[in-house]
Amino acid sequence: MARLRLDSWKSIAEYLRRSPRTVQRWHAEFGLPVHHFGGGKGPVFSYSDELDAWLSGFVEDAGGDRQGGDDDLIAARKARSAELVAQAEELWDLRSENNLSTIASLYRGAVDQNPANAPAFIGMANAIILSAMMGAMRGSAAFPRAAEAVQRALRLGFDGPETRCATAWLQLAYERKWRRAREGFEEVLQYQPRSSHALTGRGVLQAAQGSLDAAARDLEEAGKQYSLASVCTSLLCWVQYLARDFEQAMDTAAQASAGGDNGAITAAVEAFALIQSGIATSSLRRLEGMARTFSRSLVIQGALGYAYAVSDHAGRAREMLHNLNRMKGESLYPIALVLIGLNEKSQAMVFLEQAYAEGSLWSLGFRSDPILQPLRDDSRYEARLRKLGHSN
């Protein structure tokens, strides 16, 4: 059976038994499936089956029927949207590697219910950005999506400190405009001195620029605001490792684990600190155990591959390298680690440059990362950092 196509606002309105103004509002506020010929400015059209499917969900969510009042339908969906945002915000106070996808889904659900809910767009952007930083999403997919969410909030007139903070995070991790990112975080902190998200962002920025003591202070302060938000602990552990305080990094990781935080980032930093403390048979066994426990963490697999390489197990290292090359996800930095261990420095630098472009958390530590010391001894490394813009 051929699809029925409706080629004007009037015909769409007649099909839905509503006024043209109502269906235009439904399109703008609730995503009624209306298309345009020739792009965004062309005449409108829609298909009856898409309208029926959309309306079925619209009515079911609102608890009414096609003859129900428009105001009741809109109010019900807005109320549901606000409820989902409230649930997401409660989880955000407890943000961890494991609940970021749930937070993003709640905010996305709020947007689906009410596309005019600007705070939901900002919340979704924040969750997506942190998901990329924690390695749960590829930066190439996450950051453009987060940027679009921020732009939608701005188009809705939502340009307060929350939007400025999300923009600064994008400037830090995605655009690498670090001066502007710092201005953004500090602007937010002038209005909200205890903003945990802004303090965390400024801390990560200072770590990227090599100011590791200042970075640790910001992350410690951020953690005090929400002591159960384990993301702050993971990032603090990372900064302690960058500062070569390996004993403190392992202690922070152990304390986090004792408190029930078993995130892959903290475990990866613990693995790096263990490597820097010396590769022995017992260390390899511990790393192998961590790689089994966190089998989905490519960074930990890369750390194990590096450890194999520097402890005369080149065959195992190349096997890890082969496996990483076959895997999807954030494998660029882990591949570089194994190549460094195998003393293939030029090839390692190629993968580090790609990791930087991807926007991984680890790439923000290139200036200080102890495991990259074999590259740092080469004068060409600093030149490559400048080429990447890592000194801005």
Residue pLDDT, tens place only, 317-358: 999 999 998 886 678 999 999 999 999 998 999 899 888 888
Residue 390 pLDDT greater than 50, yes or no: yes
Evaluate whether residue 143 is within a structural domain.
Answer: no
Evaluate whether residue 370 is within a structural domain.
Answer: yes
Domain edge (last residue) among 52, 68, 84 = 68
The tens digit of pLDDT for each residue in 305-321 reads 999 999 999 999 999 99
Counted domains in the chain? 2
Domain edge (last residue) among 68, 101, 118 = 68
Asked if 234 and 265 touch (Cβ cutoff 8 Å), the reply is yes
The CATH number of residue 50's host domain is: 1.10.1660.10
The tens digit of pLDDT for each residue in 350-376 reads 899 888 888 889 999 998 999 998 887
Q: Count other Cβ atoms within 10 Å, centred on residue 10.
A: 12
Instruction: Specify the pLDDT at position 65.
Output: 46
Evaluate whether residue 41 is within a structural domain.
Answer: yes
pLDDT confidence band for 54 (50 / 70 / 90) = confident
Instruction: Specify the pLDDT at position 64.
Output: 47
User: Positive or negative CA dihedral for 355, 243, 260, 217?
Assistant: negative
Evaluate whether residue 338 is within a structural domain.
Answer: yes
Q: Which domain holds residue 314?
A: 280-392
The CA distances from residue 375 to 120, 136, 192, 277, 365, in Å, are 43, 27, 40, 19, 14
Evaluate whether residue 332 is within a structural domain.
Answer: yes
- pLDDT above 90 covers a percentage of the chain that reads 53
Which is more confident, 78 or 168?
Answer: 168
Q: Is 85 left (phi over 0), alpha (psi -120 to 50) or beta?
A: alpha
Instruction: Specify the pLDDT at position 39.
Output: 55
Domain edge (last residue) among 46, 68, 90 = 68
The tens digit of pLDDT for each residue in 245-295 reads 999 999 998 888 887 777 899 999 999 999 998 887 888 999 999 999 999
Query: What are the two backbone dihedrals, phi and then psi, of residue 173, each rounded to the nearest 5 degrees?
Result: -90, -30
Give dist(CA 22, CA 20) in Å, integer.
5
Residue 66 pLDDT greater than 60, yes or no: no
Evaluate whether residue 15 is within a structural domain.
Answer: yes
Which is more confident, 67 or 192?
Answer: 192
The tens digit of pLDDT for each residue in 140-194 reads 889 999 999 999 899 888 888 999 999 999 999 999 999 999 999 999 999 899 8
